[in-house]
Amino acid sequence: MTGLRTRGLSVRLGGATVLDDVSLDFGHGRVTAVLGPNGAGKSSLLSCLAGLRRPDEGQVMLDGVPLTVLAPRARARSIGLLPQSGEVHWDVDVATLVALGRFPHRGRWGETEEDRAAVTRAMAATDVTRFAHRPVTRLSGGERSRVLLARVLAGEPEWLLADEPLASLDPAHQLDVLDRLRGVAAAGAGVIVVLHDLNQAARVADEVLLLRAGRVVAMGPPDDVLTEALLAETYGVAVDIGRTADGCRFVIPVRRIG
Amino acid sequence: MRAHPFRLNLALLLGLLLAIGLSLVAGKVWLPWDAWSASDPRWLIIVELRLPRTMLALLVGAALGLAGAAMQGYLRNPLADPGLFGISSGAALGAVLSLFFGYAASAFLLPLFALTGAAVSMTLLALLAGRSGSLILFALAGMMLSSVTGSMTALAISLAPTPFAASEIVTWLMGALTDRSWQDVRIALPIIGLGVVSLALTARSLDALTLGEQAARSMGVDPRRLQLLIVLGVGLCVGAAVISAGIIGFVGLMVPHIVRPLAGGRPSALLLPSALGGALLLLLADSLVRAAPTVSELRLGIAMSMLGGPFFLALLIHMRRSLA
């Protein structure tokens, strides 16, 4: 019963069905990429998995316990979310920002040794220790995204959910973030990441989940799921599929169909 | 600039002690050290007039500074001020209604009316805009509340049953700490105390909100509990301030701004220095209006607005530059 799973998950938004009877099992130590066209329900799925949205039907279960019965802080200790927005409203320094990630763990009487150690580890894992005392406003886009990832890692969640963490990053920084996500999974956590880029998904994911109109089209290893037929069904496009020199699949959409 | 919250708080505390001394000494009658003995007749001025007034200035300033810092953190907007969003004017409307109906003779009805006014304003504000989290909606709702309660206050003045009631209302609205007694301190202290406790409980959730509402919720912040504490805390603090001193604007806007660069941006680190700074600012301003060589005492509320208006304008110009 361990793991993060959904059973019969349905979400409706203003009369439209955003998620329709979604049942999934996610495993520890794996990266799952969630793919699908705009409006497929990717962000809603992530919100439900993070416990931020109460599904209209069905349940999300963490190690067999429905998320809805967990206290918010207990849930937050297990599940960390990296939102897409990347908002930082006040000009705090990097170390302070990363330390915010300890929120679900911290007691009433301030930081413990364990909190400080976790923050140090998270900053080292994302290579941001060098600018620990720099204000967040004086970071480049790539540095900033690493700092925000460090914030989530500081909470040492068993599950890391990331909503389009590659948006607005240049290719070098995209590879950088993907590497760190792989590192998090290698350390034993389950990583669920919403992506737009099929090729990045093919590179990073152990499993790919294809969503369309709130329903699961397929879930499995990239080689089984990123196929001409399934991508045509999901996106309505014809694709050319090839392999990179290191054996990783790549996909190029060539034209619309239907 | 590196933040040194401890040094900042220490400096503010020292400044506050000096300002308390100044406030006890300064006024139309200056009280040199030789007046400080129970056998001197001027001792009564100190104990029965200056001390309660000083206490009240301290409490009101701290309450307004703290409420401003909490609101700015909650709304993630450096322009937020309880006075700009209709909470003070809601409390004032309540107080004015009690003056209008002549209830102010009873010591507890004016505070009760004012607190109810503040609570109604905060609740409306929260209901109108709080759930969406939209700042524009919140600001518009606040301005709307401000103007509605303001016009209802004007209506109460124009319909006042006696010229005496009208002048009482107008004088009261201008905001001052003239002729306050220990009775006023006894009413304000517990209300502000509750407000402070309520706002202190929001400190860490406000920090989490630095990352936006979604991230804060994912970290375990309960948005409804937070909103309730903010509404309660700001309502109690601002309500008590209005009860004690009428409308005194801009403290909640200016003080968090001045201390933010020194305290380091984190909303929770801003709460204590904003309270201390608010108390310091109001004590100094109140000592100044008392000691100023004017025929009748300059109203504290007017003095603060004269100070705060240009400050707000300078802030807008600065923000426009950094946005351009």
Partner residue facing B219 (CB), from A85, A104, A148? A104
Contact: A92, B264; criterion CB under 8 Å: yes
Check pLDDT > 80 for residue B198.
yes
Check pLDDT > 60 for residue B37.
yes
pLDDT at B190: 95
CATH of the domain at A148: 3.40.50.300
pLDDT at B56: 95
* Planar angle of CA B93, B95, B98, nearest 5 degrees: 110
Tell me how far the alpha carbon of residue A204 is from its chain's centroid. 12
ipTM associated with this complex: 0.91
Contact: A76, B211; criterion CB under 8 Å: no
Prediction pTM value:
0.89
Q: Does residue B223 belong to the interface with chain A, where contact is any CB pair within 8 Å?
A: no
Assigned CATH topology for domain B5-323: ABC transporter involved in vitamin B12 uptake, BtuC (1.10.3470)
Label residue B160 by pLDDT band (50, 70, 90). confident
Within 10 Å of residue B314's Cβ, how many Cβ atoms?
10
Q: What's the mean per-residue pLDDT of chain B?
A: 86
Q: Does residue B212 belong to the interface with chain A, where contact is any CB pair within 8 Å?
A: yes
pLDDT at B3: 65
Nearest Cα to Cα of residue B245 among B76, B81, B95, B79: B95
pLDDT at B309: 82
Mutate to test the interface with B, among A48, A103, A149, A152 (most CBs of B within 10 A): A103
Chain A residues with beta carbon closer than 8 angstroms to that of B221 = 72, 103
* Number of alpha carbons in the 13 Å side-chain half-sphere of residue B154: 6
Check pLDDT > 70 for residue B105.
no
Within 10 Å of residue B43's Cβ, how many Cβ atoms?
14
Contact: B266, A96; criterion CB under 8 Å: yes
In three-state secondary structure terms, A191 is strand
Domain boundaries, chain B: 5-323
Tokens representing A206 are: 């152990």
pLDDT at B135: 63
Tokens representing B227 are: 């909103």
Label residue B179 by pLDDT band (50, 70, 90). confident
Segment B161-189 shows an average pLDDT of: 85
Range of the domain at A179: 4-256
pLDDT at A1: 63
Could you tell me what percentage of chain B is helix, strand and coil, using 3-state DSSP and rounding each to the nearest 5? Answer: 75, 0, 25
Number of domain units in chain A:
1
pLDDT at B104: 63
β-pair partners for A93:
A135
Segment B14-32 shows an average pLDDT of: 86
Contact: B219, A76; criterion CB under 8 Å: yes
Q: Which residues of B78-108 are buried (b: 16+ CB within 10 A; e: fewer)?
A: bbbbbbbbbbbbbbbbbbbbbbbeeebeeee
Segment B206-213 shows an average pLDDT of: 92
Check pLDDT > 90 for residue B112.
no
Percent of chain B with pLDDT over 70: 94
- B124 vs A224, residue with greater confidence: A224
Integer Cα distance of B186 and B180 in angstroms: 11
Chain A residue set in contact with B, beta carbons under 8 Å: 50-52, 71-77, 79-81, 83, 85, 87-93, 96-97, 100-101, 103-104, 106, 133, 135, 148, 151, 155
Q: Does residue B5 belong to the interface with chain A, where contact is any CB pair within 8 Å?
A: no
Asked whether the beta carbons of A61 and A70 are under 8 A apart, the reply is: no
pLDDT at B6: 86
Give per-residue pLDDT as tens, A47-80: 999 999 999 999 999 999 999 999 999 999 999 9
pLDDT at B111: 84
Check pLDDT > 70 for residue B323.
no
pLDDT at B299: 85
Contact: B218, A81; criterion CB under 8 Å: yes
Chain A residues with beta carbon closer than 8 angstroms to that of B204 = 103, 106
* Number of alpha carbons in the 13 Å side-chain half-sphere of residue B31: 23
Which residues in chain A show pLDDT less than 50? Answer: none
pLDDT at B125: 80
